[in-house]
Amino acid sequence: MRLIVKNFLIVLALGLPASVPALAGPALLFDAADGKVLYAEEMDDQWHPASLTKIMTAYLTFKAIKAGKLSLTDKVVCSELAHKQPPSKIGLPIGGELTVELALQSLIVKSANDVAVMLAEKVAGSEAQFVADMNATARELGMTRTVFVNPNGLPEVNQVSTARDLAKLARAVTHEFPEYAEYWAMTQMRIGKIRLSSHNALLRTLDGADGLKTGFICDSGFNVVASATRDGRRLMAVVLGEPSGRDRNIRAASLLEHGFQQFGWKQLFNNQTVDNLPIASGARGPISVRATIQSWDCGNGKRNPAVTARKDKIKAAKEKKAKAAQKKQQKTNPPAKASSSANSAPVQAVQ
């Protein structure tokens, strides 16, 4: 009851609708500089992080570079295990290579599952050892309710985190490695002639947006750790379990907007941070929100209009090409005219 009342008061302080806590999954709004909590909603409930896992994969890669174990110009190789990862992926053949720099950008911008495994194998020698390092690092950062099973966030029932733990990770990666800030803010990247775009629409629509990462699997819903900086102040929002990408963007943007508008004297006496707030006694384990997700991939929802339009365009182009080829063939090889000779033998029907 105390947590509910606290959330209600924070909602009122931010000017958010009081009905928000009852309608959505975990959420957290905090000051990136000191971790001060501006809004918290079920922040200790465990949730499947999906591709937010890749923030930890990038963090460990940054640490390895800093330690001199590898450089941005080193190559990572696509192993059989990496090649077998399902999309989202770059799709390199076995033995294909990328520089560490391109691999990191692909991990963050494209959210490439195959590249996550490639980096894991490069940094730790094997995926299993890298996952062990991920969990050890999570303990060091105080991510007490987080367990990693793989480096990319693909569905695993035991792979869980919380909004609070992801906030700690986001603060660590941005504070310790500011030199990679541009990676988190990239809206697109190129590998050769191929252009890859970010799934984080907030980078294109929200004033001051500068990171970090989106995530989605059917059981988790649409997740995001979003950040924005205005007038030298950086706020971050963690939003988990939204039913669509659009809902995810709206909720994260609303939290950040209200945070910037309300941040000031109201927070002078707020000393609650992601580090000192006690874990809620009623914090829950992970649940699946598959039934609420608006995606055909999850067995329900609406078909993505952009995907449908793209498929229709490809189909129309193929039909147009086929008709043009048929027309060209008819001009090149016109049908033979029927003979008018009286001596022509009659055609016998085949029974």
Neighbouring C-beta atoms of residue 108, cutoff 10 Å: 26
Question: Contact, 145 vs 283, CB < 8 A?
Answer: yes
DSSP structure string for 97-113: EEEHHHHHHIIIII--H
- Residue where the block lists tokens 């001060």: 36
The amino acid at 340: S
As annotated, the active-site residues are 51, 54, 111
Alpha carbons 267 and 58: distance in angstroms, whole number:
32
Helix (H) / strand (E) element for 292: namely none
Partner residues linked to 239 by β-bridges = 27, 224
Long-range contacts of 296-302 (CB under 8 A, 24+ apart): 297/218, 298/218, 299/218, 301/243, 301/244
Of 246, 256, 264, the closest CA to residue 225 belongs to: 256
Q: Is 37 left (phi over 0), alpha (psi -120 to 50) or beta?
A: beta
H or E element at residue 174: helix 163-176
